[in-house]
Amino acid sequence: MWLLDKMLARMIRKGRLVVIDFDGKEYTYGEASAAPLTIRFTDKGAAMHIARDPRVGAGEVYMDGRMVIEPPHDIRDFVLFVMGNASSTGGIDRKGPLRKAAGKLLSRIDQVNQRAQASKNVVHHYDLSRQFYEQFLDEDRQYTMAYFRDPANSLERAQVDKKALIASKLRLVPSQAAGMRVLDIGCGWGGLGLYLNRHFGCEVLGVSLAPDQVKFANERAEEAGVADKVKFQLIDYRDVQGQFDRITSVGMIEHVGAPNFGEYFAKTHDLLDSDGIMLTHTIGRKGPPGGTDKWTRKYIFPGGYIPAMSELVAALEKTGWEIGDIEVLRYHYAYTLAEWYRRTTMHRDEIVALYDERLFRMWQFYLAGAEQSFRHGGMVNFHIQSVKRRSALPMTRDYMQQEWARLSALDEAPEWHLQRAAAE
């Protein structure tokens, strides 16, 4: 405990943290007058496991039940508390320059993402059962940042508004879109593709490397009676052929890997019509390029990497694109993740029955850690609109807000329909 004690004494300044070691000895950090947040270690080696590599160790001891957060707090409270302190006192990482450099190198190697490995990486995360994702996603199964025009909005409302925002930036004019072809790279469970077809009549091809997602998305298209217009294929984006009027990439480029950004944007440039528009929606770093932390690479997104704006812009420039618009969306994902965490925790029994306690705890830690990255850390979201010809876009971006407002007014969130029916 001595090493962890030294680290916490230096880091905790705001609030009060109480640590109960496996032998019952208590350690207190921070402000004596503050209400305590208490954690307890259940075995002798837990504290040292964290101290050796805090960013990996904390998640592992929580997953394994070796660290318990005492009520009324939970792991989200703990993660937000610790990282909030770390951001103001100089960080939590004990790695020296050589270990940091080695970590970045391993992260880059992990991002090579050859075709066979890319498929394995996607399946690792996205082919958890449908029932699992249903426990915390909205009814349309949007597994990317929601757009909270008002932080008080429901997740369902915010996800409807996110789809409207993306559609507005694609500039799909209703009177002209019926004959258009849209490519949705990393199509998830098909919600965005079905949304675009429903509102604009365009043909959509969604591609993904997650078998169950593709299967379910095609089932949804069949059920909606639009399987002739909205199709989903289990295929690498590098193998897509043809020409498309619009391309969407929502939460997909994070799985491409920085070494492959040039290949990615060159391929999408070839696929887009000369007067087309592409919208890239991605998590991004607010600062310079970095590396993916070891815990995330190991347990959540093998092969994944969050890009810096400089990396994306450099790759776009080299592959012939012209950037039409960039928007930085700052806190929206923090609100999204907080609601996913709430729903995950609420459905603990169902998730444990599907898998086990360890996976439930792993998911809690992942969501809480991701939320703090958007709330206190270095993560944001980017929307990058790219074109081949600048004439594909109007003179000003007023059309985006106008179209967003029109689309948002057309769709009520699913839960509102239920509330209205109950009231009537």
DSSP letter for each residue of 27-52 = EEEE-TTSPEEEEEE-STTHHHHHHH
Residue 247 tokens read as 């391309």
What's the mean pLDDT in 98-126? 54
The pLDDT value recorded for residue 87 is 79
> Are 84 and 120 in a shared domain?
no
The pLDDT value recorded for residue 157 is 96
Helix (H) or strand (E) holding 382: strand 379-387
What's the mean pLDDT in 51-72? 95
The pLDDT value recorded for residue 301 is 85
> Are 65 and 123 in a shared domain?
no
Query: Is 188 inside a domain boundary?
Result: yes
C-alpha 291/C-alpha 101 separation (Å) is: 9
Model confidence at 127: pLDDT above 90: no
The pLDDT value recorded for residue 64 is 96
Q: What is the pLDDT of residues 144-155, one digit of tens each?
A: 999 999 999 999
Query: Is 99 inside a domain boundary?
Result: no
Return the biggest CA–CA distance within the chain: 72
Q: Residue 38: phi, psi to the nearest 5?
A: -115, 130
Where does a domain end: 55, 89, 123?
A: 89
Q: In 111-190, which residue ranges form alpha helices assigned H by DSSP?
A: 115-126, 130-134, 155-170
Please report which confidence band the pLDDT of residue 414 belongs to, taking 50, 70 and 90 as the band edges.
Answer: low
> Are 280 and 323 in a shared domain?
yes
Query: Is 376 inside a domain boundary?
Result: yes
Query: Is 108 inside a domain boundary?
Result: no
The pLDDT value recorded for residue 291 is 87
> Are 18 and 167 in a shared domain?
no
Model confidence at 322: pLDDT above 70: yes
> Are 32 and 136 in a shared domain?
no
Please report which confidence band the pLDDT of residue 391 belongs to, taking 50, 70 and 90 as the band edges.
Answer: very high
How does the average pLDDT of the chain come out, rounded? 90
The pLDDT value recorded for residue 351 is 96
Question: Which of the pair, 79 or 89, is modelled with greater confidence?
Answer: 79
Model confidence at 325: pLDDT above 80: yes
C-alpha 59/C-alpha 375 separation (Å) is: 19
Model confidence at 270: pLDDT above 90: yes
Q: Residue 308: phi, psi to the nearest 5?
A: -85, 155
343 three-class SS: helix
Total domains in the fold of the chain = 2
Q: In 189-232, which residue ranges form alpha helices assigned H by DSSP?
A: 191-200, 211-224
Query: Counting beta carbons within 10 angstroms of the beta carbon of residue 17, is it exposed (0 to 12), middle (13 to 18) or buried (19 or more)?
Result: buried
> Are 269 and 381 in a shared domain?
yes
- The pTM score is 0.89
What's the mean pLDDT in 293-321? 93
Query: Counting beta carbons within 10 angstroms of the beta carbon of residue 108, is it exposed (0 to 12), middle (13 to 18) or buried (19 or more)?
Result: middle
Structural domain of residue 7, as residue ranges?
2-89
Show contacts of 174-181: CB within 8 Å, 24+ apart: 174/199, 174/200, 174/201, 177/201, 177/202, 178/202, 179/203, 180/245, 180/246, 181/205, 181/242, 181/243, 181/244, 181/245, 181/246
172 three-class SS: coil
C-alpha 419/C-alpha 424 separation (Å) is: 9
Query: Is 103 inside a domain boundary?
Result: no
308 three-class SS: strand
- Is there a contact between 364 and 76 (Cβ–Cβ < 8 Å)? yes
Question: Which of the pair, 176 or 170, is modelled with greater confidence?
Answer: 170
Q: Of the candidates 10, 155, 33, 199, which has an alpha carbon nearest to the alpha carbon of residue 86?
A: 10
What's the mean pLDDT in 278-292? 95
The pLDDT value recorded for residue 10 is 94
Q: What is the CATH number of the domain that holds 62?
A: 3.30.1050
Model confidence at 393: pLDDT above 80: yes
Query: Is 104 inside a domain boundary?
Result: no
> Are 329 and 287 in a shared domain?
yes
Query: Is 97 inside a domain boundary?
Result: no
Q: What is the pLDDT of residues 26-58, one digit of tens each?
A: 999 999 999 999 999 999 999 999 999 998 999
The pLDDT value recorded for residue 280 is 98
Query: Counting beta carbons within 10 angstroms of the beta carbon of residue 364, is it exposed (0 to 12), middle (13 to 18) or buried (19 or more)?
Result: buried
> Are 131 and 47 in a shared domain?
no
Q: What is the CATH number of the domain that holds 138?
A: 3.40.50.150
The pLDDT value recorded for residue 411 is 80
128: left (phi over 0), alpha (psi -120 to 50) or beta: beta
Model confidence at 413: pLDDT above 50: yes
Where does a domain end: 54, 89, 124?
A: 89
Helix (H) or strand (E) holding 244: strand 244-250
> Are 125 and 13 in a shared domain?
no
> Are 82 and 230 in a shared domain?
no
Query: Is 182 inside a domain boundary?
Result: yes
> Are 385 and 245 in a shared domain?
yes
Question: Which of the pair, 303 or 202, is modelled with greater confidence?
Answer: 202
Model confidence at 424: pLDDT above 60: no
Q: Strand pairing of 379-387 and 322-329?
A: antiparallel
Model confidence at 115: pLDDT above 80: no
The pLDDT value recorded for residue 177 is 86
The pLDDT value recorded for residue 368 is 96
Please report which confidence band the pLDDT of residue 126 belongs to, taking 50, 70 and 90 as the band edges.
Answer: low
Q: Which residues of 380-419 are buried (b: 16+ CB within 10 A; e: fewer)?
A: bbbbbbbbbeeebbeeeeeebeebbeebbeebebeeeeee
Of 64-78, 235-249, 287-301, the poorest mean pLDDT is in 287-301
Rounded percentage of the chain residues whose pLDDT exceeds 70: 88
Residue 108 tokens read as 């880059």
User: CA 319: distance to chain centroid?
Assistant: 26
Query: Counting beta carbons within 10 angstroms of the beta carbon of residue 354, is it exposed (0 to 12), middle (13 to 18) or buried (19 or more)?
Result: middle
Of 32-41, 53-62, 70-79, 82-91, the poorest mean pLDDT is in 82-91
CA angle 141, 146, 149 (to 5 degrees): 140
What's the mean pLDDT in 359-374? 95
What's the mean pLDDT in 320-333? 97
The pLDDT value recorded for residue 128 is 78
Please report which confidence band the pLDDT of residue 119 belongs to, taking 50, 70 and 90 as the band edges.
Answer: low
Where does a domain end: 89, 107, 142?
A: 89
C-alpha 190/C-alpha 357 separation (Å) is: 30
Please report which confidence band the pLDDT of residue 123 belongs to, taking 50, 70 and 90 as the band edges.
Answer: low
> Are 77 and 220 in a shared domain?
no
